[in-house]
Amino acid sequence: ASGLKDAGAEKAASSDAKMLERFQACDVASGTFKYVQVHAIASDGTRKVIVRSAPGAYHADVAELLCQALQDKDLQYEIPGGGRIRRDDDAKEIEIYGHSKATQVFGFRCEQAVGTIMILV
């Protein structure tokens, strides 16, 4: 019986890891907005880095929809960084700012290099 329980737990963990694949890795809105880097975590420890930007007065506003969607799928998350980003579709430019007034509130240590690579790839 314990073998069946373990198999069930493994199947659930695998399902959670597959659930991470459904979340788009990078979604940057056109314009100048705050962005957040979110680390989504499946029950088996599988992690996925997700970057989001959107209109919002605070970084929490930008993260809210994604974090709620992760919670709805029983996935954990951490928010290690963020800042501001400008996407200009006409000029085909993206500029990332590594500073934020919210760094003290969130304890951000912006992993800007990872976010930059994800956005440009």
Q: Which residues pair with 85 in a beta bridge?
A: 33, 96
Contacts (Cβ under 8 Å, ≥6 apart) of 37:
49, 50, 51, 79, 80, 81, 82, 110, 111, 114, 115
Q: Which amino acid is at 117?
A: I
Give the span between the Cα atoms of 67 and 70, in whole angstroms: 5
Q: Range of 23's domain? A: 2-120
Residue 104 in 3-state DSSP? helix
The binding site for substrate consists of: 34
Instruction: State the pLDDT at residue 121.
Output: 47
The binding site consists of: 34
- Of the residues 28, 33, 48, 59, only one is catalytic, namely 59
pLDDT in tens, 78-102: 998 888 888 999 998 888 876 555 4
Give the span between the Cα atoms of 80 and 82, in whole angstroms: 7
pLDDT in tens, 26-54: 999 999 999 999 999 999 999 999 999 99
Q: In this predicted model, which residue has the larger pLDDT, 88 or 8?
A: 88
Give the span between the Cα atoms of 45 and 17, in whole angstroms: 8
Encoded tokens for 42:
């499946």
Structural domain count, the chain: 1
Instruction: State the pLDDT at residue 112.
Output: 55
Instruction: State the pLDDT at residue 39.
Output: 94
Instruction: Assign residue 83 the CATH number of its domain.
Output: 3.50.20.20
Q: Is 59 a catalytic residue?
A: yes
